[in-house]
Amino acid sequence: MIEQNTRLGIALMVATTFVFAVQDGISRHLASEYNVLMVVMIRYWFFAAFVIALASRKAGGVRTVARTRQPRLQAFRGALLAVEICVMVLAFTLLGLVESHAVFTSYPLLIAALSGPVLGERVGWRRWTAIGVGFVGVLIILKPGWGVFAPEAAVPLLAAFLFALYGLLTRFAAREDSAATSFFWTGTVGAVVMTAAGLWTWEPMSRPDWAWMGTLCLTGALGHWLLIKCYEVAEASAVQPFAYLQLVFASVIGIGVFGETVAPNVAVGAALVVAAGLFTLWRARRAG
């Protein structure tokens, strides 16, 4: 049993969010130059190799880690995450890092809202109020107004919904399978799905961009490794609020590297979404 160390867990979560923000910045660059499916496919090849390597070091090896009594659920989870990543990377190219992440931070609220019908968990009126406030924040960010709603504005919201559903299915799968088993299926199924979709979009990549692609793969593996270590040393409820720092880091990269700006409505809406999300985490921790 690994001793709990909340301070170390928080530091690891902060490092995780920074690495994932860097990964998102590289994804934004590559997806603006090459097909999104190809970029995500190559990233998944490395991810699959990473999870297989981790599984081979466990007792019983890959065969034991891969064993599950719910293969359809695990396969659907893996495919769902691959689709979500493609949608989110597409959002980066359409809206930039700042606005995409401002909307995407609503996913914990979606998890809270869907946990009742999907998992049978009880959601009290306080959390429902927070969920409502959070989605007011999303509307402030998206500014639907009276005119025609811009379709690209819905892309990061779709990504948030897909990721929330993935998170709920992961919790459902955890009733039968270990985290190592779910992680293995996530990487391997995602690689199969993305290879089937992405090989048709293959195009030559410049040498500098291959270097960026390699960095993207390394940051992906490093981010997941840091996250695993984070949850090993600290309770999820203690470190989860710090996951919102990814919005901060991604915004800094978006502004500093890509010349994006933070519109007042995005700042106000994101503040509402984050505040509502932190409140739902706090209520869930008290209820637990």
The pLDDT value given to residue 206: 96
Does residue 235 form part of some domain? Answer: yes
Distance CA 155, CA 161 (A): 10
- Counting every residue, how long is the chain? 288
Mean pLDDT of 66-93: 96
Is the pLDDT at 144 greater than 70? The verdict is: no
Does residue 266 form part of some domain? Answer: yes
The pLDDT value given to residue 118: 67
Is the pLDDT at 218 greater than 80? The verdict is: yes
Nearest to 36 by CA among 45, 27, 44: 27
Other beta carbons within 10 Å of 196: 11
Does residue 1 form part of some domain? Answer: no
Is the pLDDT at 149 greater than 90? The verdict is: no
Is the pLDDT at 235 greater than 90? The verdict is: no
Task: Report the mean per-residue pLDDT for the chain.
Answer: 88
Other beta carbons within 10 Å of 191: 23
The pLDDT value given to residue 190: 96
Terminal CA-CA length for the chain? 22
Burial class (CB in 10 A: 0-12, 13-18, 19+), 229: middle
The pLDDT value given to residue 287: 61
Phi-psi sector, 41: left (phi>0), alpha (psi -120 to 50), beta: alpha
Does residue 96 form part of some domain? Answer: yes
Does residue 94 form part of some domain? Answer: yes
- 84's CB contacts (< 8 A; 6+ apart) are 159, 162, 163, 166
What tokens were used for 83?
A: 């689709």
Do residues 213 and 30 touch, judged by C-beta distance below 8 A?
A: yes
Over residues 246-259, the pLDDT tens digits come to 999 999 999 999 99
Domain count within the chain: 1
The pLDDT value given to residue 147: 47
Does residue 104 form part of some domain? Answer: yes
Does residue 92 form part of some domain? Answer: yes
The pLDDT value given to residue 43: 96
Burial class (CB in 10 A: 0-12, 13-18, 19+), 206: exposed
The pLDDT value given to residue 148: 47
The pLDDT value given to residue 108: 83
Domain residues for 121? 6-287
The pLDDT value given to residue 215: 97
Q: Where are the alpha helices (DSSP H) in 235-263?
A: 236-239, 245-258
3-state secondary structure of 25: helix
Other beta carbons within 10 Å of 6: 12
**4-18, 71-85, 247-261: least confident range:** 4-18
Does residue 90 form part of some domain? Answer: yes
- Enter the pTM of the model: 0.89
Over residues 28-52, the pLDDT tens digits come to 999 999 999 999 999 999 999 999 9
Over residues 150-165, the pLDDT tens digits come to 678 789 999 999 999 9
